[in-house]
Amino acid sequence: MFNIILFGPPGSGKGTQSEKLIERYGLKHLSTGDLLRAEIANKTPLGLEAKSLIDKGQLVPDEVVIGMIDSAIEANAGVNGFLFDGFPRTVAQAEALDKLLSFKKSVIGVMIALQVPEEELIARMLNRAKTSGRSDDADENVLRNRQAVYRRDTLPVADHYRKADKVEEVNGLGTVEEIFERLTQVIDKKKGI
Ligand code: AP5
Ligand code: MG
C-alpha cells in the first residue's frame, strides 16, 4: 500500500486534485468532509451533530472523524492505498491514523502540503459558494474562521509528519493541470518510479 495525505488549508485544491490522483494511482479517496456531508444529507444523528459545527467553521470532535476513518479503512481492505483529504486535521487524529495504519502493517508514504495564500483561498471559496450549496462557504466570517482553525489546530499536523521526514511542500497556485503535474512528480519520486 502507498498512502498519501493531501494536506492544505480550506480551498487549497485538495478535493480537486484528489479526484485526479486517485485515478492516476488507483487509490481510495477518503475525505472526512465528504463523509460528513453524506451524513448530513442522510440526516443521521452524527450528521445533525456535525452540521452545527461545520456551519460555524469549527472542527467535528476527533473521536467522530477517527471512527469514520477506522470504518472506512476496514471496509476497503485490499486497496492499493488511501488518499487522505482533509484528514488528519489535529495531532490527535494524526496519532490515531498512524496507529490504525500500523495495525494494517502500513504507513503514510508522503504528506503533500499545498501552499496557497489566504486571499486566494477566500476568493476561491466565495466563488465556489455560488454553485456548491455548501453552507460553510457562503459567509466570509465563517471562511476566515476556517482559516484560523486551520492555522491553530491543523498546521501542527505538518510538524508531526515533518519529524518523520514525510512532508513535501508543493506550490498550489497555477492551473489545475500544472499543480497535478507537480504532485505526480513528488509522488513518483517517493514511489521510486
Ligand atoms: P472539508 O470538506 O475537508 O473542507 P476544507 O478542508 O475546509 O477544504 P475544502 O473542501 O473547502 O477545499 P479543498 O482544499 O478541498 O479545495 P477544492 O478542491 O474544493 O471540511 C469541511 C468541514 O468539515 C470542516 O470545516 C470541519 O468542520 C469538518 N471536518 C472535515 N474533516 C474534519 C476532520 N478531519 N476533523 C474535524 N472536522 C472535520 O477547491 C476549492 C475551490 O477552488 C473549488 O471551487 C475549486 O474548483 C477551485 N480550485 C481548485 N483548484 C484551483 C486552481 N488551481 N485554481 C483556481 N481555482 C481552483
Ligand atoms: Mg475538499
Closest CA to ligand 1's atom 42: 124
* Residue bearing cell 496557497: 116
6 DSSP β-pair partners: 85, 112
User: Does the beta carbon of 18 lie inside 6 Å of ligand 1?
Assistant: no
21 CA to middle of ligand 2, Å? 14
pLDDT of residue 38: 97
pLDDT of residue 133: 87
Residues serving a catalytic function are 14, 89, 128, 134, 146
pLDDT of residue 5: 98
pLDDT along the chain (193 residues), means of 10: 98 98 98 97 96 97 98 95 98 98 96 97 95 90 97 98 97 98 97 85
Strand ranges (E), 35-165:
82-85, 108-115
Q: Which residues have CB under 8 Å from 165's CB, separation 6+?
A: none
Radius of gyration of the chain (CA): 16
pLDDT of residue 193: 76
User: Does the beta carbon of 128 lie inside 6 Å of ligand 1?
Assistant: yes
pLDDT of residue 10: 98
pLDDT of residue 12: 98
Closest CA to 28 of 92, 74, 66: 74
User: Does the beta carbon of 51 lie inside 6 Å of ligand 1?
Assistant: no
Closest CA to 14 of 181, 188, 176, 184: 176
pLDDT of residue 2: 97
